[in-house]
Chain A
Amino acid sequence: MSTQTREKLNQRLLINKIFYKLIEFLSFSLLIPLGLILFYIIKNGIAYLNLDFFLNMPAPVGETGGGAFNAIIGSFMIVGLAGLIAIPLGILIGIFLGEFKDHKMNNLTRIAIETLQGIPSIIYGIVAYVWFVLPFGNFSAFSASFALALMMLPMVAKATEETIVMIPYTLKEASYALGANYYTTIIKVILPSCMKGISSGVLIGISRILGETAPLLFTAFGNAFLNFNMGKPMNALPLLIYNYASSPYQEWQQIAWAASLFLIIIVLGLSIIAKNVIK
């Protein structure tokens, strides 16, 4: 090999090495923002994530020891009702999409679900406001549940459809051969074997809507008091974080850090469980 070729080769190998190191560095550099976010939330939140946080109501400005009891209850009630609407409806739509491929509405339904998935979260808030807050004359928790249910619907429907088309046709044939009709086949044979896929979709959906704030702004609105009435304004964890984050009072910001830590534990925990349920 002449020296010139050797030089050229060395140069190419050097470029290759630099390129590899560069993309390796850029890939792992994203650990820095994640680390910084988790570090500050844990550092600032852990001291206030105590029993007071879970059991006390928000304290008035200037008093310490306030908690987020009403926001925790509110979050679970709003998300719970949203799940009660979105899970059964989403499974039905998923079965329809996966099973009735030749039905004239199938394509349109798929487009509708995909449109729903692409709608910015704040717009759900506007529509829920127009449909439920304006006619009733006051902000309410159930209007928030409705907005969140609409957000969750595509995730459940997609998960159901994707699992149901994976089920081998022989399973269905076996069920028919035993004399089962369509209803029994779907409910007793197909759905149980789809359980893993559907439940992971449901968990991902719930973890998504638990952290959603924008659809709650003009629906659940927030409430400084404890409220179990779904027809009245209700507080929720993301709303509490948003409202307290921009407040100048340190006590409130501390509660917001603790709420962030609590929310991030639940949300990331749920999505990790969901990812491992599939495997």
Chain B
Amino acid sequence: MIKISNKRKNKLFKSTLKFSGYFTVFLIALFLITLIYNSFLSLSTLSLPFLFGSKWEPNAGNFGAAPFVIGTLLTSLLALLISIPFSLSLSVYIGYFLKNKKRKNMLETLMDLLAGIPSVIYGFWGLMILVPIIISFQTKLGVVPYGVGILAASLILAIMIIPYSVSLGKDVINLVPSDLIEAAIALGATPYEVVKHIAIPYSFSGLFAGHVMAFGRAISETMAVTMVIGNRNFIPKSLMDPANTLASVIANEFGEASDPLYVSSLIELGLILLLITTTVNIIGKFIVKAYHVHTN
């Protein structure tokens, strides 16, 4: 008796495991189909003008995604540019120079903490502390002191994405073969020259992939951006202007949209957002695979 029930248990367990695999694939497929199906109304009635339309006026029936696509790319690119000096320094410093365990732990905890702070808290802090600083800065410059806008969003995003590029960057720098480094030192190279001529060229693809993935994080970030970007549905003219990103316009308007075409357009914005982040992530992963980037 016991033996049979054990055998059954075994079989049941194995099929449960296999089922969980099928279930996951089914779930993701359904997830994507839901997005496509629900943006179908917008896809069919608005079609291509949706993608390039520069006006977003739901009440007038104008739906154009361009202000948000541009807003998203601008904030994320600016955030990436701001973050690069810091993330590269941290990668080289932790991965190559730091032998002191205490300092290493300290910087790694710093990265963990920065990555762990919830995005809504970054947004709240940015709104209460950073935006007033930007306002006084803008008043001095003599531009319209919005405070909120692309600059504020990019600054917050830059802080948020640094841990992501560093987590891959410090590993690839650390894994530069020591015989290469030692050979350079034996030829009389200073540590700076080792980093410049050996470590960075050798690990370039890994560093690049890390930054591509961090860029993907910046694109998909929602709450912090929504709270400090100013939520204005126009193509921004300067980096100080308020704007909107794909994620922030959905966060702002999805809850109150009632017209079916409006809802469907917002879901299509979500679909565009998903396409952009997935493409960026695939590029990052492709680089890691194609160049045999070794990580721990």
| A positions within 8 Å CB-CB of B | 12-13, 15-16, 19-20, 22-24, 26-31, 33-34, 36-37, 40-41, 44, 89, 92-93, 95-97, 99-100, 103, 105-106, 108-109, 112-113, 115-116, 118-123, 125-127, 129-131, 150, 153, 157, 181-184, 186-187, 207, 210-214, 217-218, 221, 238, 241-242, 245-246, 253, 256, 260, 263-264, 267-268, 271-272, 275
Closest to A92 in B: B20
Q: Does B16 contact A (CB under 8 A)?
A: yes
CB-based contact A122/B251 at 8 Å:
yes
Within 8 A of A (CB), among B1-30: 6-7, 9-10, 13-14, 16-18, 20-25, 27-28
Nearest Cβ on chain B to A45's Cβ, whole angstroms: 10
Q: Does B138 contact A (CB under 8 A)?
A: no
Binds A, one of B40-48, B53-61, B82-90, B235-243: B82-90
Which of B97, B118, B255 has a CB less than 8 Å from the CB of A213? B118
Q: Does B254 contact A (CB under 8 A)?
A: yes
Closest to A270 in B: B116
Q: Does B77 contact A (CB under 8 A)?
A: no
Q: Determine the distance from Cα of A19 to Cα of B191 in the docked complex, in whole angstroms.
A: 9
Nearest Cβ on chain A to B176's Cβ, whole angstroms: 16
Q: Determine the distance from Cα of A106 to Cα of B18 in the docked complex, in whole angstroms.
A: 9
CB-based contact A105/B274 at 8 Å:
no
CB-based contact A96/B17 at 8 Å:
yes
Q: Determine the distance from Cα of A245 to Cα of B130 in the docked complex, in whole angstroms.
A: 14
Within 8 A of A (CB), among B95-135: 97, 107, 110, 112-114, 116-125, 127-129
Residues in B with CB closer than 8 Å to A211 are: 117-121
Choose among B14, B21, B223 the residue with the greatest number of A CB atoms under 10 Å from its CB.
B21
Q: Determine the distance from Cα of A118 to Cα of B215 in the docked complex, in whole angstroms.
A: 12
The B interface is mostly helix, strand or loop, or mixed, namely helix
Closest to B257 in A: A218
If A22-B89, A27-B86, A150-B31 are given as contacts, then 14 extra A-B residue pairs at C-beta distance below 8 Å, sorted by A number, are: A16-B192, A26-B90, A28-B107, A96-B17, A121-B222, A126-B35, A126-B266, A182-B13, A187-B13, A218-B254, A241-B124, A263-B118, A272-B112, A275-B112
CB-based contact B274/A40 at 8 Å:
no
CB-based contact B116/A33 at 8 Å:
no
Q: Does B273 contact A (CB under 8 A)?
A: yes
Which of A23, A105, A184 has a CB less than 8 Å from the CB of B18? A105
Chain B residues bordering chain A, tally (CB within 8 A): 75
Nearest Cβ on chain B to A100's Cβ, whole angstroms: 7
CB-based contact B255/A218 at 8 Å:
yes
The A interface is mostly helix, strand or loop, or mixed, namely helix
Q: A15-B192, A182-B10 are in contact. Are A213 and B119 (CB under 8 A)?
A: yes
Which of A31, A37, A89 has a CB less than 8 Å from the CB of B122? A37
Nearest Cβ on chain B to A149's Cβ, whole angstroms: 11
CB-based contact A116/B120 at 8 Å:
no
Residues in B with CB closer than 8 Å to A120 are: 219-222, 247, 273-274, 277
Residues in B with CB closer than 8 Å to A15 are: 190, 192
Residues in B with CB closer than 8 Å to A210 are: 118
Q: Mark B123-162 against chain A: 1 for CB-CB distance below 8 A, else 0.
A: 1110111000000000000000000000000000001001
Which of A108, A126, A131, A256 has a CB less than 8 Å from the CB of B124? A256
Nearest Cβ on chain B to A163's Cβ, whole angstroms: 15
Can you pick out 27 interface pairs between chain A and chain B where the beta carbons lie within 8 Å of each other? Answer: A13-B190, A23-B92, A27-B86, A30-B90, A31-B110, A33-B114, A36-B125, A40-B129, A41-B121, A93-B21, A96-B21, A105-B18, A106-B21, A109-B21, A112-B27, A118-B281, A120-B219, A122-B247, A125-B254, A181-B6, A184-B6, A187-B13, A238-B120, A260-B121, A264-B117, A268-B113, A268-B117
